[in-house]
Amino acid sequence: MADEATVDAVLTASRTLVAVATQSLGAAAEDTTIAQYRALVVLASRGPQRMTGLAAALDVTPSTAGRMCDRLLRKGLIRRHRARADRRAVQVSITAAGREIVDQATARRRALIAGILGRLPARQQSAVASALAAFAAAAGEIPDSQWPADPPPAPPLARMKREPARSGTAGRS
């Protein structure tokens, strides 16, 4: 169990990181919420996901993830397609437009973070980097350098409709 002073320090730093995340979205923030942006990052960093997998990664219910994906699909930031390994399964993946939002926000975030780190002595910068790398790893975050390459475009599903769940298919998305 972490001590209270450590939790307080991370909580205080997290407010700064949330502000940086919000600022980094730039013009995309008008059309993309932080939660939607997080979904895009999960898809960019982990590749195509079934709805249940995306929901788990976002720590939301599958129905919440589904509604979020509906919005991102209408904006052209993700696509739905059949899984290659199991044609019955539907996956969502990021589009080039969605990846562009992630890449632009990441570049802006990198500049904002560099500006903040530049106010610290080099030794403290290294300590912050080591501590945050350990924190991110403990949270299961995938470093940018380990993200998959952009997959080839998958054919979108034609007029995909939601069907009511049939018995024995609960949890499949």
List the one residue out of 97, 108, 102 whose CA is nearest residue 45.
102
Residues in CB range of 162: below 8 A, 6 or more apart: 66
List the one residue out of 108, 115, 18, 25 whose CA is nearest residue 10.
18
List the one residue out of 109, 107, 125, 131 whose CA is nearest residue 16.
109
Residues in CB range of 23: below 8 A, 6 or more apart: 108, 112
Tell me the pTM.
0.75
How confident is the prediction for the chain on average, in pLDDT? 85
pLDDT digits (tens, 9 = 90+) for 30-79: 889 999 999 999 999 999 999 999 999 999 999 999 999 999 999 999 99
pLDDT digits (tens, 9 = 90+) for 132-150: 999 999 998 888 888 887 6
Please tell me the distance from the alpha carbon of residue 160 to that of residue 90, in angstroms, as a whole number. 10
3-state secondary structure (DSSP) of residue 62:
helix
List the one residue out of 36, 18, 20 whose CA is nearest residue 101.
36
Domains identified in the chain and CATH numbers: 18-142 (1.10.10.10)
